[in-house]
Structure 1
Amino acid sequence: MDSSAKKNELIQLLESLLPEEGTVQTDITSLSLSKVSKSSEFACSMSEPSIYFIARGVKEVHLAEQIYTYDASTYMISSVHLPLSGKIIEASKEAPYLALKLTFSLDEMMEVVQESGDAFMQPCTKKCDCALVMGEMDEALLDALIRLVSLLKHPKMIATLSPLIVKEVLYRLLDHHPQMFIKQFATMGSHAYRIMQAIHQINTHFEEPLRISEMAHSLGMSNSLFHRHFKNVTTLTPIQYQKKVRLQMARKLLLSQHVDAATASFQVGYASPSQFSREYTRMYGMPPKSDAKRQGKAL
Structure 2
Amino acid sequence: MTDSIDSYRFELIDFLKSKYSFSGAIQSYIPCLDFYFSNQPSEFTSIMYEPSLCIILQGSKAVGFGDNLYNYNSEEYLLSSTYVPAKVQILEASQEKPYVSLRIRFKIEDIYEVLKNTNPEKLLFTKKSEKGLFFDEINERLYNPITRLVKLLDKPKEDINYLSPFIIKEILFILINDKSGYFLNKFAMEGTISNKIVKVINEIKDNFSDKLSIKELADLINISESSLYQNFKTITSMSPLQFQKKLRLEEAKQLLLGRNIEIAEVAYIVGYESPSQFSREFSRMFGTSPKAFILSNKIEQTA
TM-score under structure 1 normalisation? 0.90
Alignment pair present for 1:229 and 2:231: yes
Match of 2:39 among 37, 46, 67: 37
- For 1:292, the aligned partner's letter is I
Deviation, 1:13, is 2.5
Counterpart in the other structure of 2:113: 111
Q: How far did residue 121 of structure 1 move?
A: 8.3
Q: Is the 8 A contact 1:112 1:170 kept in 2?
A: yes
- Residues 287 and 118 of structure 1, relative CA distance in 2, 3 Å threshold: closer
Query: Quick check: 1:158 aligned with 2:164?
Result: no
SS, match of residue 207 in structure 1: coil
Distance, in Å, in 1 between the alignment partners of 2:9 and 2:258 is 37
User: How far off is 1:38 after superposition?
Assistant: 1.9
User: Is the deviation greater in 181-190 or in 153-162?
Assistant: 153-162
Between stretches 92-101 and 20-29, larger displacement belongs to 20-29
SS in 1 for 2:116: helix
The aligned runs of 1:17-28 (5 Å cut-off) are: 17-28=19-30
Q: Which runs of 4+ in 1 moved over 4 A?
A: 119-122
User: Cα offset for 1:168?
Assistant: 1.4
- CA distances 1:225-270 after superposition (whole Å, capped 9, x unpaired): 1111101110101011111111111222222223233222222112
- 1:8 shift after superposition: 2.3
Count of matched residue pairs: 297
Q: Which residue of 1 aligns with 2:290?
A: 288
Quote how far apart the aligned CAs of 1:192 are.
Answer: 0.8
Indicate conservation of the 8 Å contact 1:64/1:235, yes or no.
yes
Residue 150 (structure 2) aligns with: 149
In structure 2, relative to structure 1, the CA distance for the partners of 1:252 and 1:162 (3 Å cut) is closer
Q: Normalising by the residue count of structure 2, what TM-score does the alignment of the two structures yield?
A: 0.89
Distance 2:279 2:194 in 1: 33
How far off its partner does 1:20 sit? Answer: 4.5
174-183 or 231-240: bigger deviation: 174-183
Alignment root-mean-square deviation, CA: 2.4
Gaps of 5+ in 2: none
Residue pair 2:204, 2:244 contacting (<8 A) in 1 also: yes
Distance 1:17 1:179 in 2: 34
- Distance (Å, rounded) in 2 between the aligned partners of 1:182 and 1:93: 37
Change (3 A) 1:146 1:164: same
Worse-matched range after superposition: 262-271 or 3-12: 3-12
Quick one: structure 1 residues 277 and 154, their matched pair in 2 at CA, closer, same or farther if it must change by over 3 Å? closer
Q: Partner of 2:269 in structure 1? A: 267
Structure 1 position 37, deviation (Å): 1.9
**Cα offset for 1:174?**
1.5
Q: Which runs of 5+ in 1 are unaligned?
A: none
Partner of residue 84, structure 2: 82
The answer to whether 1:92 aligns with 2:94 is yes
Q: Is the 8 A contact 1:213 1:223 kept in 2?
A: yes
Contact 1:14 1:98 in 2 (8 A): no
**1:73 matched to 2:52:** no
Amino acid at match of 1:189: G
Structure 1 residues 287 and 158, CA gap change in structure 2 (3 angstroms): closer
CA shift in 2, pair 1:83/1:259, >3 Å: farther
The structural deviation recorded for 1:148 is 1.8
